[in-house]
Amino acid sequence: MTHEPSVQEILTLKKELVGLFGHLQKIRKELASLNPPGAPDHFGSMSDELDEIVSATEKATNTIMESVEGIDTLMNDARAATDDPKLKAVFDGVTDKVNMVFEACSFQDITGQRVTKVVNSMKFVEERINSIIITWGRDELTKVVVEIKEDTDPDKKLLHGPQLTGKGVTQAEVDAMLGQDDIDKLFG
Render pLDDT for 46-75 as a digit per residue (tens, 0 to 9): 777 888 888 888 888 889 999 999 999 999
Q: For residues 24 and 126, is the Cβ–Cβ distance under 8 A?
A: yes
Output Rg (C-alpha) for the chain, integer angstroms: 27
Orientation of helix 107-136 relative to helix 7-31, angle to 10°: 150
Amino acid identity, position 160: H
25-45 per-position pLDDT tens digit: 666 545 444 333 444 445 567
Q: What is the overall mean pLDDT for the chain?
A: 75
Give long-range contacts, CB 8 A cutoff, 24+ apart: 93-101: 98/68, 98/71, 98/72, 101/64, 101/65, 101/68
**Is this prediction's pTM over 0.85?**
no
CA distances from 74 to 81, 95, 96, 99 (A): 11, 10, 14, 14
